[in-house]
Amino acid sequence: MNWATSRVAELCFHGIGVPDRQLEPGEDRFWVDPSTFASILDAVRDFPSATISFDDSNVSDVIYALPGLERRDLRADFFVIAGRLDQRGSLGCEDVRELGRRGMRIGSHGMDHVSWRQVRSASSQEREYVLARRMLGDLTGTEVTAAAFPRGAYDRAAITTLRALGYEDLRIIDGGASSPDAWLRDRYSVTRFDTAESIAAYLASPDGGLAGRLQRTVKRGIKRWR
Ligand SMILES: [Zn+2]
């Protein structure tokens, strides 16, 4: 079996252009310039198995991402923070409906963008895992079964709870590739230091060779089981 062709790489974008809200500490490195974003999308077209997603539901999802994707006949998954709907700088309810109408898939990124490793009480689980998903499902008229871990933070307890609640598609962000049918899928988070060339190099070898793959497997094992 050829590893390269049997695994899929996913790019995760956060913000594009200039943010219109207060950023969290360290978040600015995940905001990319609009022209770089466009050139990265052009590069992605050379990798038909590559997939794309957007976290954090910044308003740049509809200003830059949606038109850029449609121009290239690409589709993506959008992981929305339910508690930020209609806040300045974030997607509004109508934006989320529009993304759904245009063939984009909506997933949950929780209610308050808190680490799901800290979500332990029944009431916080209800808010982050159940209520957020229900709000997004009510908007799009579809059942939301996909979620991306806020801040990329996950562990065994969170995964077990989410699976029990019927989540079928969970996304992490450790930077490797995944089997296309896996219910826990890895992604690479695009930063403002990336270029079309760096992304093309990543997509050509998303697991970074055997050494990088083993290293990530160990890292993921530690994160998942602690
Ligand atoms: Zn996030």
CATH number of the domain that residue 104 is part of: 3.20.20.370
Q: Are strands 188-189 and 146-148 parallel, antiparallel or unpaired?
A: unpaired
| Cα(115) to centroid(ligand 1), Å | 9
Element (H, E) at 96: helix 93-101
Cβ atoms of 188 and 9 within 8 Å: the answer is yes
Please give the pLDDT value at position 226: 45
Cα 11 to Cα 45, 77, 92, 133: the distances in Å are 12, 10, 24, 23
C-alpha 150 to ligand 1 mean position (Å): 4
Give the range of the structural domain holding residue 23, as residue numbers without chain letter: 3-225
DSSP element (H, E) containing 159: helix 156-164
- pLDDT, mean over the chain: 92
Using the predicted structure, report yes or no on whether residue 143 has a pLDDT greater than 80.
yes
The DSSP call for residue 21 is S
Q: Give residues with Cβ within 8 angstroms of 50, minimum separation 6.
A: 8, 9, 10, 11, 44, 203
At 108-141, the pLDDT tens digits run: 999 999 999 999 999 999 999 999 999 999 999 9
Residues 6+ apart with CB under 8 A from 87: 21
Number of domains in the chain: 1
Beta strands in the chain (DSSP E): 10-13, 15-16, 31-32, 51-55, 77-80, 105-108, 146-148, 169-171, 184-185, 188-189
User: Residues 173-193: pLDDT tens digits?
Assistant: 999 899 888 999 999 999 999
What residues are neighbours of ligand 1 (ion), with CB under 5 Å?
55-56, 150
Distance 158 CA to ligand 1 centre (A): 16
